[in-house]
Amino acid sequence: MARNLDAFWMPFTANRQFKKAPRMLVRASGMHYWDADGRQILDGVAGLWCVNAGHNRPQIVQAIQAQAAEMDYAPPFQMGHPKAFELAERLAAIAPAGMGKVFFTNSGSESVETALKIALAYHRARGEGQRTRLIGRERGYHGVNFGGISVGGMVANRKHFGTLLAGVDHIRHTHDPARNAFSVGQPAQGAELADDLERLVALHDASTIAAVIVEPVAGSTGVLVPPHGYLQRLREICDRHGILLIFDEVITGFGRTGSPFGAQTFGVTPDIMTAAKGLTNGSVPMGAVLVRDTIHEAFMTGPENMIEFFHGYTYSAHPLACAAGLATLQTYADEGLLTRARALEPYFAEQLHALRGEPNVIDVRNIGLVGGVELAPIAGEPTRRAFGVFLDCWEQGVLVRTTGDTVALSPPLIIERAQIDQLVDTLRQALRRAA
Ligand SMILES: Cc1ncc(COP(=O)(O)O)c(C=O)c1O
């Protein structure tokens, strides 16, 4: 398959390295990809944390095909189509109680921008327009647009891009290997790290703060599971000061942690929740922002002929995405996938934590069907050790993902025990070879 690879500037990729030895995926089904050489690859990361029901599920494929034939596109401004309303209703039905309003976007990044804008406009609509400050968290990942990188806390994603949004601050991250290394599930130590928000309240005054955004489980920074009680404490502090709590559930949504959303797994209901990825099982780009009814109500004032929220995308609630989303939610429901990670978590955790003691493994973290294996970096060459392990696993027919020197696993929720074994065994062998 001779191809010129020059024109495509690949995202979040070492382009020159990749193009010297391309890793081409050409087909997928269930738990597997196939590469250009016909090799079968076990998908240990659900594509990119999105293919939660496994690949090319016929119900989803057929829904997209049928929709493309029936109606390709419908404008979302001042017009509607039935599947958009149906999908919003079905999403609200699996969301925490009271989060009944849904705004559609096309990606996680757009969901984040939308959520931040809703937070600001909400306060303004209620006469608290001085609440303009947005608070993120160190090591947070909220996509790549300007709002998202401003509240985000991954240095490489920020440092090239100027001064970002004004009026943003960050609370401390929760990674604390000295106290919590090799925690199974939620770490015991660290609820008090939420009190860092009180420091920012003392510094800026609560009356200037609109919202705090965190991932319930920080994924892209290397799988940081929230300490017991941490999210509850963050919720309490937000309530005390009238600050909105936004959960970025782009990764944790759709069964990843054993409940439809991380909010339910951890028993904390935010005010606004972002979603994407698993919403369409990765098949058509789509994101969503779920909002508390009371927040939505604050917008529904003024003359009825006026647009209430000056925001939206040409492809908000795209018919193909809605069709894919409906078929995806049906597949999740039919197969119990939104809670399957809970049943598999003990086995997954046991296998993963058995990597403790393998060469250079300095921490293992897990929750639901998410795992992180952190490696000691090669001196002076951060990320190289983990990336070498990634390449080795790829050679052995298993797709994992790395961020920094952490190997992250997030397999489709249909994974079977034998495939968990294959995933972890392949990783073990790669770790040994890398030693
Ligand atoms: C928590 C979180 N927010 C936002 C995003 C951005 O999503 P997208 O790449 O669809 O824009 C991601 C992507 O991994 C994510 O993990």
Q: pLDDT tens digits, residue range 403-428?
A: 999 999 999 999 999 999 999 999 99
- CA quadruple 225, 143, 394, 390: dihedral positive or negative? negative
Average the pLDDT over 282-304 and give the result: 98
Long-range contacts of range 89-93, CB-CB < 8 Å, 24 or more positions apart?
90/325, 90/326, 90/329, 91/275, 91/279, 91/288, 91/290, 91/325, 91/329, 92/290
Per-residue pLDDT at 3: 76
Asked whether the beta carbons of 427 and 364 are under 8 A apart, the reply is no
Nearest CA to ligand 1 atom 3: 142
Length of the chain in terms of residues written: 435
Is 371 strand, coil or helix?
strand
pLDDT in tens, 84-107: 999 999 999 999 999 999 999 999
Q: How far is the CA of 104 from the centre of ligand 1 (A)?
A: 15
Dihedral through CA 164, CA 165, CA 170, CA 173, nearest 10? -50
Q: Which two tokens stand for residue 121?
A: 């406009």
pTM exceeding 0.75: yes
Asked whether the beta carbons of 186 and 225 are under 8 A apart, the reply is yes
Shortest-distance atom of ligand 1 to CA 277: 10
Q: How far is the CA of 365 from the centre of ligand 1 (A)?
A: 20
Core vs surface per residue 394-416: b (16+ CB within 10 A) or e = bebebbbbbbbbbbbbbbbbbbe
Tokens 């997928």, residue located: 28
Residues with CB under 6 A from ligand 1: 107-109, 112, 141-143, 215, 219-220, 248, 250-251, 276
Q: How far is the CA of 250 from the centre of ligand 1 (A)?
A: 6
Per-residue pLDDT at 373: 98
Nearest CA to ligand 1 atom 8: 108
Q: Is the pLDDT of residue 2 over 90?
A: no
pLDDT in tens, 139-156: 999 999 999 999 999 999
Q: Beta strand pairing status for 133-137 and 168-171?
A: parallel
Share of the chain above pLDDT 70, in %: 100
Nearest CA to ligand 1 atom 12: 143
Q: How many CA atoms lie within 13 A of 55 on its CB side?
A: 19
**Element housing 122 (H / E):** helix 108-125
Q: Which two tokens stand for residue 216?
A: 């319930």
Phi and psi at residue 180, to the nearest 5°: -120, 5
CA 91 to chain centroid:
16
Q: How many CA atoms lie within 13 A of 127 on its CB side?
A: 1
